[in-house]
Amino acid sequence: MEEMSGFPKELVSRVLHLHFRDCKTKVSGDVLQLMAEFLKIFVVEAAVRGVQQAQAEDLDIVDVDQLEKVLPQLLLDF
């Protein structure tokens, strides 16, 4: 279950801080771990939905076309 790769805490921290408007905004360690999980789910969900779309279209490869079809709902769900 825990064998899946994940986002390194350092990366999550840097990406979040890149977009913070206030330099005083801080992030706790727990939040970094939780956000790493959050991003992992986002990516896996995008990938899995892409696969489902490809399977529905009877394809062996997930192309950008399949991803485009699942992207709107994915963004609404997140």
Partner 1 sequence: MEETEAEAERQFSHRQRLKAAVHYTVGHLCNEVALDKQVQFNKQTVAAIAEVTFRQCENFAKDLEMFARHAKRSTVTTEDVKLLARRSNSLLKYITEKNEEIAQLNLERKTKKKRKPEDESSNSREPAAEVVDTET
- Identify whether the C-beta of residue 13 lies closer than 8 Å to the C-beta of residue 27: yes
- Rule CB under 8 A: which of 1-30 touch partner 1? 4-8, 11, 14-22, 24-30
Query: Within its chain, how far is the Cα of 75 from the centroid?
Result: 10
What whole-number distance in Å separates Cα of residue 59 and Cα of residue 57? Answer: 6
- Identify whether the C-beta of residue 20 lies closer than 8 Å to the C-beta of residue 37: no
Residue recorded with tokens 């921290």: 13
Q: Number of residues in contact with partner 1, rule: CB under 8 A?
A: 53
- Rule CB under 8 A: which of 39-78 touch partner 1? 39-44, 46-48, 50-51, 54-55, 60-64, 66-67, 71, 75-78
Q: Which stretches of the chain bind partner 1, using CB under 8 A?
A: 4-8, 11, 14-22, 24-31, 33-35, 37-44, 46-48, 50-51, 54-55, 60-64, 66-67, 71, 75-78
